[in-house]
A and B are shown apart, each in its own frame.
Chain A
Amino acid sequence: MSRETVTTQEVKFNVFRFNADDDYLPYYKEYTLEVTSEDVVLDILNKIKWEHDGSFSYRRSCRHGICGACAMKVNGRSTLACKERMMDMIELFGNEMTLEPLSVKRAVKDLIIDKSDFWEKHAKIDPYLVDEIDETPEHENLVSQADMDKLLDADVCIQCGACHYACPAVAINEEFIGPAAFAAAYRFEIDARDQSNNARLEIVDQEKQGVWDCVKCFECQEACPKDINPIEKITKLHNMIFKEGMANNDVAARHAVGFERSIKKHGILDEGELVRYSEGNIGVLKHVPVALKMFKKGKIVLPWKMPKADKLDEIKKLVESSSTVKY
């Protein structure tokens, strides 16, 4: 961009401030700054620190979107401060912005957070290639392009934590491994060279910590600055669990399978039967109080009144011929 086309705008920033050593509670400090069309968010953070308050703290390092240090939130949107253009932020949010750490609850000092939970979960899925390495190989071990293509997009993760701290399941359930570590689990699990014999699939298959507790909100896909699409990797891990015959006989797996059963029978979903099949005849009892309330309001269709899609034969035929996995 030539100097002549540089424009400026005034923006009001509400900046999250907190020092775990001194403050009981965080607070927001207001800074009104001139923003130029050349600025990225990191330039604003630098301006605040260099020109207004030297104690303002944030992580930064590479300035090229590859180290992941400067991940933070602008108006609730995760981003890399060094990569995000201010003019794009103004277009999205107007001239008032809130700058916050990725996780308010894990803030240590201003935008710096304690990322230990992220690293613990990352370590949990063995994020490395498991193989007996021949120390004196006689030739190169070539991997086909097709095999590499399966893992390449997941491999560009910079561990910035944007998806992890955007995930509501992570925020509520401390055991949940989270989208970043799931994407890493996929990256190594799908690697043709890996010899871990589905060890990672075992880990992500467990309830509470595994993929089954994903709420399917797509916050991770939206948050990722590297377009890794973690929820797509979560889907692929689910698929691998079923393909490897590792899915447990539990509510989570049966819930996914139940859709196929129902579609085959009715074309559409039989809601009551899906819950019964997923939970089992005893587990389903805990849903009775809510089901009764719904029944009173005409929200439960009785089994013998269950509607069916037209051309059900066609649907049945397609389910049978297109099915690629057994449970």
Chain B
Amino acid sequence: MAEKLKYALFTGCTAKESTPEQMMSTMAVADKLGIELIELTEASCCGASHLQDYDDFLSLVLNARNIAYAEKHGLTMVTICNTCQLNSAMTKHRLDNNAELKAKVNAKLAEVGLEYKGTSLVTHFLYAIIDDFGLDKIKEMVVKPLSQFNIAPFYGCHNIRPSELQNESHRTAENPYNPTSLDDLIIACGGHNVDYNEKNKCCGFHAELQAPHTAAVLTGNAVAGAMDNNADWMVTPCPLCHLKLDTQTGHASQAIGREVSLPVLHMQQMIGLALGCSYEELGLKHHVTAVDFVS
């Protein structure tokens, strides 16, 4: 194998709190694939697509600071949350294309001895795997193909939209109206990818507190769409979509007037299963909707 892949890992907050299984499976899979992840322990919350509504400039400063730490390592920043990806990549895009704004942000960062240069790429782990590691290599490494399963990919908004921004962050061009990366990953893991209308739609996570009905209907529609197309389970690259689909199907069922529920795996857990990682290593016990097909 060529030079070992190495990235700066921006874990995001849920990996430390409500989705511990996401952190566990990320590390387990990176280990299996021989990818080195340097955790950015200094990183702050990205603002989760809400902070910028309150204070846009503060959101830029904090995200620029996170990226500045990846730059210090001279590494690409890898995210494992779609919303972290959006906020980080959006900050990078705005600063790289606006010298005045970059100077204003850097004036603040200078107060703590940091500088945002724009030298590190920001990419989601899904695309780092596809672009840099390669799905063919994953396919070769699969020891326990997922051939018994129909798996519904749930892409999550903040990895595919806005497409112009997202497609700056990786080489694999993604069509937000017909995304394929996660489908390709399912196939590489030996599974059967399920096509359904909701795969590129919103899960409702970001409106859960302010617009609970809207959020619950979106969750319900997503799970119902996967179920109606004979999915055995769903897979997502986003821990926020995961939280919504895994823990909120009670509200969702009420909202759409129909019982819906499916096990939902993080993308890392799906890869881990195919590569032979154990139930414990992948943190599968941390799911509210039981992952009962793995023992």
A contacts, CB < 8 Å to B: 75-77, 92-93, 168-169, 172-173, 176, 207-208, 212-219, 221-222, 229, 235, 238-239, 242, 251-252, 255-260, 262-263, 267-269, 271, 275, 278-279, 289-290, 293-294, 297-301, 307, 309-311, 314-315, 317-319, 321-325, 327
Contacts and interface: CB of A to CB of B under 8 A. Distances in A.
Q: Is the interface of A mostly helix, strand, loop or mixed?
A: helix
B112 A260 contact: no
Interface centre among B18, B41, B61 (most CB of A within 10 A): B18
Contacts of A299: 17-20, 247, 286, 288
A172 B218 contact: yes
Contacts of A290: 247-248, 250-251
Given A173-B213, A238-B53, A299-B18, A293 B288 contact: yes
Nearest to A307: B16
A325 B215 CA distance: 28
Interface string B113-134: 0000000000000000000000
B267 to A, nearest CB: 18
A279 B201 CA distance: 27
B54 A321 contact: no
Contacts of B18: 271, 294, 299-301
A219 B50 CA distance: 17
Contacts of B43: 267-268, 309
Given A238-B54, A318-B65, A325-B55, A262 B286 contact: no
A263 B51 contact: yes
A239 B58 CA distance: 12
A322 B58 contact: yes
Given A169-B214, A219-B161, A322-B61, A251 B209 contact: yes
Tier of interface size on chain B = 35 or more
Contact of A256 (B41, B42, B53): B53
Given A76-B177, A269-B13, A173 B49 contact: no
A126 B111 CA distance: 44
Contacts, number: 200
Interface of B: 13-14, 16-20, 41-45, 47-58, 61-62, 65, 108-109, 111-112, 157-158, 161-163, 175-178, 197, 201-202, 204, 206-207, 209-211, 213-215, 217-218, 247-248, 250-251, 285-288
A215 B204 contact: yes
Contacts of B218: 168, 172, 215
A149 to B, nearest CB: 13
Contacts of B286: 297-299
A259 B42 contact: no
A187 B72 CA distance: 41
Given A271-B14, A294-B18, A252 B213 contact: no
A324 B56 CA distance: 8
Given A92-B177, A216-B206, A309 B288 contact: no
Given A92-B178, A215-B206, A256-B53, A318 B111 contact: yes
A169 B215 CA distance: 9
Given A278-B209, A297-B286, A319-B58, A215 B214 contact: yes
A173 to B, nearest CB: 5
A118 to B, nearest CB: 18
Contacts of A93: 175, 177-178
A203 B287 CA distance: 41
Given A76-B177, A256-B53, A325-B54, A218 B162 contact: yes
B47 A259 contact: yes
Nearest to A300: B18
A289 B249 CA distance: 13
Interface centre among A173, A255, A269, A314 (most CB of B within 10 A): A269
Contacts of B162: 218, 221-222, 229
Contacts of A258: 50
